[in-house]
Amino acid sequence: MRELTHLDKQGAARMVDVSDKAETTRTAVAEAILTMQLPTFKALMAGQLKKGDAFAAARIAGIQAAKKCSDLIPLCHPLMLASVDVAFEPREARSQLRIVANCKTKAQTGVEMEALTAASVAALTIYDMCKALEKGIEIGPVRLLEKTGGKSGDFSR
């Protein structure tokens, strides 16, 4: 079992010192799935929501969330992001919307949390935009799909 890196010898939480790590290009891709009733899905796809353009709002929210990740997640390092992309994939047969967040940086630590946060906040924004039509929208799974770079190597689901 690996040593827990976010705890000191007394068991107190700490931010990991990454100052000796090499700065490398790192990427991460995460997804969030929203499942809703078909009428809600159709209204979303047709741009018929009272709050306006849900996709524009969710894209901006996801990008902002990735940029603010270290303010939201304790012990997360602030990163200079090179790029953040938030894309949407409608799945009408399942009445689902798939959100894919892709983050890239050149840093001493990974960008997985930024991608996961971007996908999550984009999903929450879609929920907020659609909640007048339906309160029972489900968000999940939210998960890391892949990551590259760093000492721990690459990961692909």
84, β-bridge pairs: 103
DSSP annotation of 133 reads T
Tell me which residue of 103, 122, 123 sits closest to 113, measured CA to CA: 103
The HSE-up count of residue 10 (CA atoms within 13 Å, CB side) is 3
CA angle 70, 12, 30 (to 5 degrees): 35
Which residues are annotated as catalytic?
A: 128
Six-digit token string for 91? 């799945």
Distance between CA 121 and CA 126 in Å, rounded? 9
